Amino acid sequence: MKRIVVTAGASGIGKAMAETFLQAGASVAICDIDGVAIAAFADAHSDSIAVKADVTSEAEMEAFFDQVEAAWQAGPTVLCANAGTGGQAGAVDTLDLTQWRSCISVNLDGAFLPIRWAARHMKSDGEGLIILTSSTAGLMGYANRTPYAAAKWGMIGMMKSLAIELGPAGIRVNALCPGMVSGERAERIVKQEAQVSGISEEQARQVYSEGVSLRTWVDPEEIAAMAAYLDSPMGRKISGQAIAVDGHTETLSR
């Protein structure tokens, strides 16, 4: 049976990934910093492992990993390193160092800790799949969102390096790069953009839509479907790739 671990798995893209793999019959374990969302997920999926944990805390993540190993008596066959945060929006000369560091930590440390753990198991197994959730902001410039873009570009570098390093051990590593994904998080981004740019939220929403060739946002389930594809026999030779699931983002700037 496939064993899937998803960080930040109680809402948004992570929840869609977890539920997609559960529907396919996999064993699934998630962690998330949102205790309310974790409780709701656990209630809805009693056959899963759902733990409240901060991806930037080595101690909390080690406790999560220990719980997963105890339940499965094995490590993951697939890791979805999905945790991330948008960070502070604004001109670079107005940014706060503490908030900068927090954004970098959640995105990069939050991927490093579970990847380090999963790689140890996958090397022993001789196979595995690691999927990082980056962003189209990791593929192009994003004015007034430098912390987020820097972190997501960093995730692409992490993915490329790990694909080379872990490939000989039979481990595939890829990054998914969503564009604007429907949901509460996207609405927060729209609100931030409106405040920074001095436009209405409706105008900000339109800017993001017009920057996509298909003039549409993406649903979390569409990102999850790509993750499932990568874990299918059809995706067995795909590694080292930054895969945009975004309707083709042309620009993130006004």
Task: Tell me the catalytic residues.
Answer: 148
Cα separation of 217 and 178, whole Å?
A: 9
What sign does the dihedral 66-161-181-16 (CA atoms) show?
negative
* Residue-wise DSSP of 169-195: GTEEEEEEEE-SBSSHHHHHHHHHHHH
d(CA 63, CA 55): 11
Contact assessment for residue 80 and residue 131, using Cβ atoms and an 8 Å cutoff: yes
How far apart CA 149 and CA 246 sit, in angstroms, is 16
CA-CA distance, 176 to 59, in Å (whole number)?
27
116: nearest Cα among 158, 157, 86: 158
135, 132, 145, 56: which is closest to 100 by C-alpha?
A: 145
β-bridge mates for residue 103, sequence order: none
